[in-house]
Amino acid sequence: MLWKTAIIPFSVPFKEPARTSRGVYHKRRVRYILIQNDAGAFGIGECAPLEDLSCDAGPEYDQRLIAACRAFSESGSIDDAVPASLPSVLFGLETAMAHAKAGTVRFFDTPFSRGEQGIPINGLIWMGSFDEMLRRLENKLAEGFRCIKIKIGGIDFDQECELLRRIRERYPDPETLELRLDANGSFSPENALHRLERLATYRPHSLEQPVRQGQWKIMEKICRESPIPIALDEELIGINTPEERHALISSIKPDYLVLKPSLHGGMSGSAAWIREAQSSGAGYWITSALETNVGLNAIAQWTAAFGSSMPQGLGTGLLFTENINGFPIFIRGSELYCRADGAEPTFSSILSRQSAMIAR
């Protein structure tokens, strides 16, 4: 069955600048894919590449997105239309198709989608000044989060250690408060192990991506010698074939994978990463890549189908001053829930826009 498609760009501002070691985000630019067939089935997906990070981001992105959507319209097959080098487009079309097939934004029948069970999530602390990070931390603790993810590498390392010292002074038991650290590749090969030794005194659960991706031998040494379990995130970007995935995991031997469908091959590619992790004995958790509620809901519905009890990185919808309303997901305490009332979003804030780039 053939599909008509439309692409609508959208932009949402962050409440506060989202700072990583790579730079600062002030607005989130996304593209929504709308699909519809002659039988009236309708679906919406979100393409949300991250500038300076996604392997498919760049000045030619919109042209490649349009070409992929045209190919999908003609073939009706995502696999035939979208190359693996466009993971955010894969995710957007997979999401739109899942929505259209299910006839609801609750893609799978799970305890989560029925409103019976929440998904544990971590509280995210963005990089900032010491005082800013301390304020954000206090807010997350007051909200009831007992798994905190802290992005480091943006201020003086001694100050970051002081922040962690204060946390552990207040919550000395890692079973009471789990600390996940994310360096976003900000350590150098020369200082990484020394910094990991210092950070180990604060008993973190893990540390993501200590050095920049693409340095497999260095990362293997870090994973082998680190006193802290190491998780890979950026390292997985652009690794698209089964052979490449197996080579990376068997070479580096990480403790965890942090999976973002928009970056790591869509839902299908991320599922392949999960299978690879399980076969090697590595753990994993799933997180958003700062999508709006369209993409965040899709990731949450997909994540719930795996039934993992680990806290996931799905609390990012609160980062924006505005969002796409009407989705059933909401945060209560330190868990993400899905309303059970069956109400569906209307997408009026998207459909009312007149800036569609393509329609067939």
Q: Taking the CB of residue 133, how many other CB atoms lie within 10 A of it?
A: 21
Q: Taking the CB of residue 148, how many other CB atoms lie within 10 A of it?
A: 24
Helices (H), the chain: 61-75, 78-81, 87-102, 130-142, 157-170, 192-200, 216-225, 242-252, 266-280, 293-304, 348-351
> Cβ(323)–Cβ(12) under 8 Å?
yes
In the annotation, is 140 catalytic?
Answer: no
Catalytic residue among 4, 27, 101, 151: 151
H/E stretch holding 34 = strand 23-37
> Cβ(114)–Cβ(340) under 8 Å?
yes
Query: Collapsing DSSP states into helix, strand and coil, what is residue 147?
Result: strand
Distances in whole angstroms, Cα of residue 330 to Cα of each of 25, 141, 324: 24, 18, 13
Cα distance between residue 79 and residue 240, in whole Å: 13
Question: What end-to-end distance do the CA atoms of the chain give, in Å?
Answer: 14
In the annotation, is 217 catalytic?
Answer: no
Pairing label, strands 335-338, 119-120: antiparallel
Q: What is the DSSP letter of 146?
A: S
Cα distance between residue 271 and residue 288, in whole Å: 15
Residues recognised as catalytic: 151, 260
